[in-house]
Structure 1
């Protein structure tokens, strides 16, 4: 059901003027996260630890008009192209001046997208012609814009690949660590921290071998790094543990080893000032070299047409740096979309207010509670209570059910059934003004069961070359028409299309949240979103069976927008919600 149809249905309701509703609507952001290397891959071999030739790889070119139209159909405003930047990989591109990286310090065969080795170019895997890889990405940026969507890429400020080396840096740019004083553990303008006097040693494990034990000329348990650098997660030993982020090294932002800061602090009152004031504050300050390096990197990609950034593990970098960086970005593009991975609730407000982030993950609050409800570990009533903990910043807390770090809904360790996405995504999407994020394959029930090599199933691998079976069924060998989907998968995708269309309703995009009680609080979530005279009631069933539920809303008129139609009994709204069922209802005017 398209928004035009939804709005035309509302004309019969008191207090709703369709033309005014269309004019006043502000589209709520919808982010489509896609793991770029996997999106267009049509090969189905899925050999554990398989090479690019064996298992295949997707390209920038696979995002053609048909693919982008299929993404846009989901109401998407921003595509987060994950894994674009050139990161360490075991695949050999020596003919393009890019030899294979050492598998002793690479996770998987394709490599982690969060071990960036050249911030000024893109992953050669993704190009039809690796020698023209940057130009092919620039063309994808243009195609995305032509389809009225914006481009978001990752920036990983906390760490870089162990063997960072840019072959594409602009004139005047120095590599990370090029000018470091390696005779000291810490110096403010060093880009890295050092284990002075010790060489790096590859981590050892009885349970893990690089490439699953397959032969490779560089897989010898050795990697030259002298002196050793601190590891990305902060490990300070020359030989990190196998569970450390040993493929990366930590960036120094002027935080001394004792945790004290070697840079000016941001006055508390700047929490109430806009990015222009933040920008002005930093202009006369002498700051650590790493700050300027990442400012230059983001400016470079903004100049290429990138519209925003998703920041990996932002909480591991001081908030003052974010004030500096984000203010610089907003001065160049005030509409830039800035999303940060922050898991510590105590840092939410500082990173929004002082760090000038636009959005943070609502992971440890909303997502974790919603997952617990689906798994029967929490009552449905817990969800809005948890949501109320961030009521003052709710419009900044991005909601999702899947991303590259989380288990697929259909995986047995999460819900074991793709259709749990219906009630869960309905509540997740409609409960707030915050953006919604969809992960590729989610709308057709991908279960993440592939055995890729590095890592465990239930999450679609970001480390290896694989095909994504359910997504490939929608892709249909590049037709992107869903011809290979089952009837159940088609129905699920239609549900997502209809649900995402609701993000254009004023009550959803701009409205306030009103809690309403229902007769089954252990299993049913219910609330109203309201803007002006428009009110939308959302009711979702998390029980393991059908629910008869009454909602304490006295209305004489109502129109079902999605799911079960309402009935009135003695002035009380009554619903029959099927297993995994939802009802989204436009209520009459409350004037």
Structure 2
């Protein structure tokens, strides 16, 4: 029995810091399009020093997602280490896509100081991250792998994908791939694209030997995929027949309410496709090395039954594993959470997309209330972000336009729900993604090229990780992010209830600008009133209303209540009269307030 004086630990918000591993420590600022490592530089595992990790932790971070760790295709000669060369005809960029994995049991050789000890260097980084209070997440890309997958590091008894496939048929349940019998793969052609920007290379001959051809990663069934297809990858077969029917056991009714232990028990005696077993072993291999969780690429292209099978096995090894999935179909959210046993999904097509429309002047913030209320049963599972490797930078001209205009978006994103918040390295200092890396184009920081990240490099300050080269505005922005994120980590209310107060204020508050949005968050021990101003031109002087039902729920009597603002340290008064609360405030363009009662 628990001692009555023993404190009960309440769950708190998580904050994920996504970092593109090969770019983080790169000090080179040349940024030549299609530049080599020698010309443009590359970051290493060892660049994540104790100091760097401590500063990330102090920013208000709980988990670090090292993007691009598994060994993927790269255009660089590592043959002296036994690694085969990769063909530019089926590699995107010079540095290669992290989502065309070549060897799941080892790591990208570019990231190691000593390539022969690349795995040991990553294991040391896992240990260093843990020592500095950070949990470690890496990618698993279950839907597709590199066309030339070839593991040099398979554990004993593990065979490569496709090693036992019957290539004479389009589909067999235990084949790892889908085939186009009798046809050879043809490299896609384009009038506007040349591998390596047209540079001569002995393997860039418009050919890649693959017979019979395999289906392409995005599902193309053509022997010659289109240049816009994921032609550098092949699709993995999970027992979905070409007609879309399932060739594996399905979960019985009621399993949406069962926990991972019951899901694990269900699969224990079931015969499942070979690809399921291969990916489960990959995940458990990394869990055994101390990885604390995974980000699953394009998870919705893989059946949720597989996720039940794999995620339950992971949770049996580490019940606290952090399992995040890229899913973009709202109709499937609950299947992947409740049946697939995902902890978190991207809240992209609802919250993210609407916030982008708001800041670009294409929508009002009011529908955020309906979005939040529609997902109330799963809101904790819908991870919020504004920047990641796939999306345009928040500060870019095609998104918010400036880092300051992005500030109300991150305040709302981090405080409107109990879900984790994710930021992308450089976001906290206003990185705008201006660089043309070659394959990767501006507004996104390239994931295909060797590039430097200017705003981040100024914070890195030659490896001192002290912000010594940041401009005053960049320093202020990082300080703002730190205050916000650390507040979210320690707030009980943000793990509690949400209620919008937008409707009453839009209808009844004089001079309430359409660019304002307001809501409350509360628990038994903490009450918050949040107001954000998406307008970048209008200062609003208003008497914000807190409706009667909130005042009643909070058991507030008539009178005055002091409020402490959590981002800037200012104070205000909540005045309760006739059962209604009011707060006099002046809110500037792009400003946000988090008032604590």
SS in 2 for 1:391: coil
Aligned mate of 1:566, from 565, 568, 572: 572
Could you state the TM-score of these two structures normalised by the residue count of structure 2? 0.93
Aligned mate of 1:549, from 538, 542, 546: 542
Aligned to 1:5: none
**Is 1:222 paired with 2:207?**
yes
| Structure-2 separation of matches of 1:388 and 1:48 | 46
Q: Which moved more, 1:263-272 or 1:382-391?
A: 382-391
SS in 2 for 1:145: helix
**Is 1:406 paired with 2:391?**
yes
Aligned to 2:18: 33
**Is 1:539 paired with 2:531?**
yes
Q: Which runs of 5+ in 1 are unaligned?
A: 1-19
Please show how residues 353-432 of structure 1 align to structure 2 within 5 Å.
353-432=338-417
Aligned to 2:124: 139
Please show how residues 53-64 of structure 1 align to structure 2 within 5 Å.
53-64=38-49
| Structure-1 separation of matches of 2:294 and 2:256 | 21
Q: Which moved more, 1:496-505 or 1:145-154?
A: 496-505
Q: Which runs of 5+ in 2 are unaligned?
A: 552-559
Deviation by residue 1:465-503 (Cα, 9 ceiling, x = unmatched): 000000000000000000100000000000000001112
| Structure-1 separation of matches of 2:6 and 2:56 | 25
**Is 1:456 paired with 2:441?**
yes
| Structure-2 separation of matches of 1:272 and 1:254 | 25
SS in 2 for 1:420: coil
SS in 1 for 2:492: helix
**Is 1:236 paired with 2:221?**
yes
SS in 2 for 1:135: helix
| Structure-1 separation of matches of 2:154 and 2:123 | 16
SS in 1 for 2:378: helix
Aligned mate of 1:267, from 239, 243, 252: 252
Cα distance, 1:521 vs. partner?
Answer: 5.9
* Residues 24 and 320 of structure 1, relative CA distance in 2, 3 Å threshold: closer
Please show how residues 249-260 of structure 1 align to structure 2 within 5 Å.
249-260=234-245
**Is 1:575 paired with 2:585?**
yes
Could you state the TM-score of these two structures normalised by the residue count of structure 1? 0.94
Q: Which moved more, 1:260-269 or 1:231-240?
A: 260-269
Aligned residues of 1:380 and 1:521 also touching (Cα < 8 A)? no
Aligned mate of 2:51, from 66, 70, 73: 66
Q: Which moved more, 1:550-559 or 1:87-96?
A: 550-559
Cα distance, 1:419 vs. partner?
Answer: 1.2
Q: CA RMSD in A?
A: 1.5
**Is 1:526 paired with 2:512?**
no
Cα distance, 1:507 vs. partner?
Answer: 3.1
SS in 1 for 2:410: helix
Aligned residues of 1:61 and 1:128 also touching (Cα < 8 A)? yes
Deviation by residue 1:150-206 (Cα, 9 ceiling, x = unmatched): 000000000000100001111110000001000000000000000100000000000
| Structure-1 separation of matches of 2:10 and 2:61 | 16
| Structure-2 separation of matches of 1:210 and 1:24 | 54
Cα distance, 1:324 vs. partner?
Answer: 0.2
**Is 1:584 paired with 2:594?**
yes
Aligned mate of 2:469, from 476, 480, 484: 484
Aligned residues of 2:352 and 2:386 also touching (Cα < 8 A)? yes
SS in 2 for 1:477: helix
| Structure-2 separation of matches of 1:334 and 1:220 | 49
Aligned residues of 2:394 and 2:406 also touching (Cα < 8 A)? yes
SS in 1 for 2:499: strand
Q: Which moved more, 1:305-314 or 1:522-531?
A: 522-531
Cα distance, 1:264 vs. partner?
Answer: 0.8
Cα distance, 1:568 vs. partner?
Answer: 5.6
Deviation by residue 1:530-556 (Cα, 9 ceiling, x = unmatched): 010410111110112222233212752
SS in 2 for 1:556: strand
| Structure-1 separation of matches of 2:253 and 2:64 | 34
* Residues 471 and 23 of structure 1, relative CA distance in 2, 3 Å threshold: farther
Q: Which moved more, 1:319-328 or 1:514-523?
A: 514-523
Cα distance, 1:420 vs. partner?
Answer: 2.1
Aligned mate of 2:304, from 319, 325, 345: 319
Aligned residues of 2:174 and 2:273 also touching (Cα < 8 A)? yes
Deviation by residue 1:56-102 (Cα, 9 ceiling, x = unmatched): 00000000011001100121111000000000111111111113200
**Is 1:189 paired with 2:174?**
yes
Q: Which moved more, 1:538-547 or 1:357-366?
A: 538-547
SS in 2 for 1:462: coil
- Kindly report structure 1 stretches of 4+ aligned residues shifted beyond 6 Å: 20-23
Aligned to 1:495: 480
